[in-house]
C-alpha cells in the first residue's frame, strides 16, 4: 500500500528526538490545561501558539496537535473526580463518571477513560487515513438545511434518554435554547438581550455556565447533606477496572469510536454532539438502562472514547479541505499559514512531510498520552483523600481562575455564581441540566442554519427535505420520533430515578 510507505516516512519525521520532544511537551501541557476546568484545548493551544512561530511547520503542528489531544484526554479528570466539566466534550462524563467516583470507582473510571481515549483516538486516525478524503466530500454535502435537521435529531435523541421526566427535559432544552439566543445575531447583527453590554455580544460564556451548573451546584448540594456522599479514594487494588467492568466497557469503546469518528465531521459542535449521542446510544441499547446516571461503566467508556475519536476526525476537514470545522483546528490552520503551508487538496503532494509527520505524531501522541495518563490516575485519585471542607473551597477557587482566565470578565464570574445557584435549585427538583447545556451549545447554530437554509431557498420550507444528507437525517429523525412516540403511548418508557 502506498500510504503505508508514506506513513513510514511520516514516522521517520515524527520519531526524530526534536519532534518527539515537541509531541511530549504538547501532550503534557495539553493534559495540564485539560485537567484545569475552564481551560480547554483552545486556550491551551492559543497560549503556546506564539512559541510555535519559532519552530518549523512540522514541529509546530506536532506540538499543537499534542496539546489538542492532551486536553481532550485531561478534560475527563475533573468531570469524574469533582463533577466539573473540563470542557464541553466532558459534560456527559460528569453524569456517570462522578457517580462511579462516589462509589469508590474513580480509579477504574479514569483508567477506562484513558484507555478508551487511546482506542478511539487510534481508530479515528486509521479512519482519517483510509476514508478521509471520501468523508470530506460527504461533509461538503451537508448544507445549512441538513445541518439543522441533524442538530434537531441530536437534541431529540438526547432528550429521549434523559433521566428526568420528559416535560422537565423539554423545559430544560427550551431554556438552553433561550439562553443561547443571547448575543449578537449573526444574520442581522442585531444585539439580542445584551442590555448594551459589549461583553454579552458574544453570548453567555459556556464555560462559566457549565462549571456553574455542574460543579458549583454539586458543591452546594453536598454542603446541604448532613453526611454528604462524596467520592471515596479507593484502595490501591481497586484502581484498575474489574473484569466485569472491562466486559461492559469494551463494546462501548468500539461503538464510541465509530460514533465519535462520524460525528467528528459535524462542524462547530462535533465534540459535544458525539459524546451526547454516544451516551444516548449506550443507554438505549443497554440491558440495564436504569444504571445510567448511577455509575454505569458504559456511560463513561462510550462518550470518552467518542470524544477522542472526534478529535482525529476533526482533522479531516482541515487537512483535506484546508477548512477548520472547529475552533481548535482553526488554530492549527493559522500555525500552518504562518509558515506558509496552506492545507487543502494539495497538502499531501506539496508538503508530504507535514501531512504524514502530523499523522504519525497523532499515533505517537495517543501512545504517549495513555502512558502519561495511567500513572496520573493514582495521583488524581489521591486528591480525593482531602477532606471535603478543604477540597471544596480550593475547587471553587480553581473554578474562578478557570473562568477568569478566558476573558478577564467580571460578568463571566457573575454568570458562574448565578449558574451555580440555578443549577442547584433545578437539580434539587430533579431537572437534568445536561440537556440544557447541549441545547445551549446547539441552539445558536441551529437557529442560524434554519434561517440560512430559508435565505438560500428564498423562504421555501421544502429545502429541509432536499438533498441526500438532509434526507438521511430526516429518515433517522422520523424513525426515532416514531419509536419514541410508540414507546410513550405504550408506556414502555423507562424513567430512571432522577439525578440528585
Partner 1 sequence: MSNRLRCAFAAPLVAAVLLAGTASAQEYPTRPITLIVPAPPGGGTDVFARQIAEAVEPFLKQKVIVDNRAGGGGTVGTTVITAAQPDGYTLGFIWNSPLTTSPHSLAVSYTPDSYASVMSIGYSSYVLCTAPSFPASTAQELVDQIKANPGKFTYGNDGLGGTMQLAAERVFAKLGAKVRPVPFGGAGETARNFLGGHVTFYGGSLPPILPHAAAGKAKCLLLTSAGKNPALPQAAGLDDIGLGAEETVLWWGLIAPAKTPPAILAKLEKAFMEAASTEKFKEAMDKQGATQRVLGAKETGALIRSELAALGAVAKSIGIERKGQ
Partner 2 sequence: MTGLGVSHRAGDAAVGLALAAGGIALAILAWPIPRGEIGNPGPGFMPFVLGLLLIGLGLVCAIRALREHDTTMVVLANRKSAVCLVALAAAALAFIPVGFVPTVAVFLTVLFGVLAEKPWWRAAIYGCGASVALFVVFEQLLGLGLPAGIWPF
In sequence order, the 6+-apart residues with CB closer than 8 A to the CB of 207 are: 37, 38, 40, 87, 402, 403, 406, 412
**340 counts as binding partner 1 under rule CB under 8 A:** yes
Q: How far apart are CA 456 and CA 148, in angstroms?
A: 13
- Segment near partner 2 (CB under 8 A), from 264-272, 273-281, 345-353, 458-466? 458-466
291-308: burial string, b at 16+ Cβ within 10 Å, e else: bbbbbbbbbbbbbbbbbb
Residue 191 phi/psi, 5° resolution? -75, 115
Q: How far apart are CA 28 and CA 23, in angstroms?
A: 9
**394 counts as binding partner 2 under rule CB under 8 A:** yes
Map residue 183 onto helix, strand or coil.
strand
Shortest gap between Cβ of 366 and partner 1 (angstroms)? 24
Q: Which is nearer to partner 2, 220 or 383 (CB)?
A: 220
What residues from 167 to 226 belong to the interface with partner 2 (CB under 8 A)?
167-168, 170-171, 174-175, 177-178, 181, 185, 187-188, 190, 192-193, 216, 219-220, 223-226
Pick what 425 binds: partner 1, partner 2, none; C-beta below 5 to 8 Å, kind-dependent. Answer: partner 2
Interface residue with partner 1, options 140, 371, 479, 486 (CB under 8 A): 140
Helix pair 243-263, 106-140: axis angle to 10 deg:
20
Q: Among residues 286, 290, 280, 278, which one has the least CA distance to residue 494?
A: 290
Pick what 71 binds: partner 2, partner 1, none; C-beta below 5 to 8 Å, kind-dependent. Answer: none
What does DSSP assign to residue 195?
A: T
**53 counts as binding partner 2 under rule CB under 8 A:** no
Pick what 447 binds: partner 2, partner 1, none; C-beta below 5 to 8 Å, kind-dependent. Answer: partner 2
Interface residue with partner 1, options 3, 16, 141, 288 (CB under 8 A): 141
**Cβ–Cβ under 8 Å, residues 403 and 413:** yes
**408 counts as binding partner 1 under rule CB under 8 A:** yes
Q: What is the CA radius of gyration of the chain?
A: 22
**Cβ–Cβ under 8 Å, residues 39 and 13:** no
Shortest gap between Cβ of 68 and partner 1 (angstroms)? 13
Interface residue with partner 2, options 247, 428, 493, 494 (CB under 8 A): 428
Shortest gap between Cβ of 221 and partner 2 (angstroms)? 8
Q: How far apart are CA 245 and CA 282, in angstroms?
A: 14
- One DSSP character per residue, 96-152 reads HHHHHHHTT-HHHHHHHHHHHHHHHHHHHHHHHHHHHHHHHHHHHT--HHHHHHHHH
Residue 185 phi/psi, 5° resolution? -70, 125
**Cβ–Cβ under 8 Å, residues 330 and 281:** no
> How many residues contact partner 2, by CB under 8 A?
61
Pick what 339 binds: partner 2, partner 1, none; C-beta below 5 to 8 Å, kind-dependent. Answer: partner 1
Q: Among residues 172, 180, 149, which one has the least CA distance to residue 475?
A: 149
**Which helix (H) or strand (E) segment is 253 a member of?**
helix 243-263
Q: Which is nearer to partner 2, 96 or 432 (CB)?
A: 432
**Which residues here bind partner 2, judged by CB under 8 A?**
32, 47, 165, 167-168, 170-171, 174-175, 177-178, 181, 185, 187-188, 190, 192-193, 216, 219-220, 223-226, 387-390, 392-394, 396-398, 400-401, 404-405, 408, 410, 413-414, 416-417, 420-421, 425-426, 428-429, 431, 447, 450-451, 454-455, 458-461
**Which residues here bind partner 1, judged by CB under 8 A?**
45-47, 49-50, 53, 139-144, 184, 186-191, 196, 198-199, 201-202, 267-268, 317, 321-325, 330-331, 333-335, 337-340, 342-347, 405, 407-409, 448, 452, 455-456, 458
Amino acid at each position: 500500500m502506498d500510504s503505508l510507505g508514506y506513513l513510514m516516512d511520516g514516522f521517520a519525521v515524527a520519531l526524530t528526538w526534536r519532534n518527539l520532544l515537541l509531541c511530549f511537551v504538547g501532550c503534557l501541557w495539553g493534559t495540564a490545561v485539560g485537567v484545569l476546568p475552564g481551560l480547554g484545548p483552545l486556550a491551551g493551544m492559543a497560549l503556546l501558539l506564539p512559541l510555535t512561530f519559532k519552530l518549523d511547520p512540522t514541529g509546530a503542528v506536532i506540538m499543537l496537535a499534542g496539546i489538542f489531544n492532551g486536553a481532550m484526554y485531561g478534560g475527563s479528570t475533573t468531570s469524574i473526580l469533582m463533577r466539573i466539566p473540563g470542557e464541553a466534550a466532558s459534560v456527559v462524563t460528569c453524569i456517570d463518571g462522578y457517580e462511579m467516583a462516589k462509589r469508590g470507582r474513580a480509579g477504574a473510571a479514569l483508567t477506562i477513560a484513558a484507555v478508551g481515549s487511546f482506542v478511539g483516538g487510534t481508530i479515528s486516525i486509521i479512519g482519517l487515513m483510509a476514508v478521509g478524503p471520501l468523508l470530506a466530500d460527504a461533509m461538503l454535502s451537508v448544507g445549512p438545511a441538513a445541518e439543522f435537521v441533524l442538530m434537531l435529531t441530536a437534541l431529540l435523541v438526547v432528550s429521549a434518554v434523559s433521566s428526568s421526566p420528559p416535560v422537565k427535559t423539554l423545559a430544560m432544552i427550551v431554556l438552553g435554547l433561550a439562553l443561547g439566543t443571547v448575543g449578537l445575531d449573526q444574520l442581522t447583527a442585531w444585539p439580542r438581550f445584551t442590555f448594551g453590554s459589549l461583553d454579552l455580544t458574544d453570548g453567555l460564556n459556556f464555560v462559566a455556565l457549565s462549571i456553574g451548573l455542574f460543579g458549583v451546584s454539586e458543591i452546594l448540594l453536598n454542603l446541604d447533606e448532613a453526611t454528604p456522599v462524596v467520592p471515596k479514594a479507593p484502595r490501591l487494588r481497586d484502581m484498575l477496572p474489574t473484569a466485569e467492568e472491562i466486559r461492559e466497557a469494551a463494546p462501548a469503546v468500539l461503538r464510541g469510536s465509530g460514533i465519535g469518528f462520524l460525528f467528528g465531521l459535524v462542524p462547530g459542535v462535533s465534540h459535544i454532539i458525539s459524546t451526547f449521542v454516544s451516551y444516548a446510544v449506550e443507554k438505549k441499547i443497554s440491558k440495564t438502562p436504569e444504571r445510567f446516571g448511577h455509575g454505569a461503566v458504559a456511560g463513561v467508556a462510550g462518550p470518552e472514547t467518542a470524544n477522542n475519536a472526534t478529535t482525529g476526525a476533526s482533522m479531516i476537514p482541515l487537512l483535506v479541505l484546508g477548512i477548520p470545522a472547529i475552533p481548535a483546528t482553526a488554530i492549527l490552520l493559522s500555525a500552518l499559514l504562518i509558515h506558509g503551508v496552506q492545507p487543502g487538496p494539495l497538502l499531501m503532494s506539496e508538503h508530504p512531510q507535514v501531512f504524514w509527520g502530523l499523522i504519525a505524531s497523532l499515533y505517537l501522541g495517543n501512545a504517549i498520552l495513555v502512558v502519561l495518563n495511567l500513572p496520573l490516575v493514582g495521583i488524581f485519585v489521591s486528591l480525593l483523600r482531602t477532606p471535603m471542607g478543604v477540597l471544596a473551597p480550593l475547587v471553587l477557587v480553581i473554578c474562578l481562575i478557570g473562568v477568569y482566565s478566558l476573558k478577564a470578565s467580571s460578568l463571566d464570574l457573575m454568570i458562574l455564581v448565578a449558574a451555580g445557584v440555578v443549577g442547584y435549585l433545578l437539580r434539587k427538583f430533579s431537572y437534568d441540566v445536561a440537556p440544557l447545556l447541549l441545547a445551549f451549545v446547539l441552539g445558536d447554530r441551529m437557529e442560524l442554519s434554519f434561517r440560512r437554509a430559508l435565505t438560500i431557498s428564498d423562504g421555501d420550507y421544502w429545502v429541509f427535505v432536499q438533498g441526500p444528507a438532509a434526507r438521511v437525517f430526516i429518515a433517522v429523525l422520523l424513525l426515532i420520533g416514531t419509536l419514541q412516540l410508540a414507546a410513550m403511548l405504550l408506556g414502555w418508557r423507562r424513567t430512571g430515578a432522577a439525578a440528585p
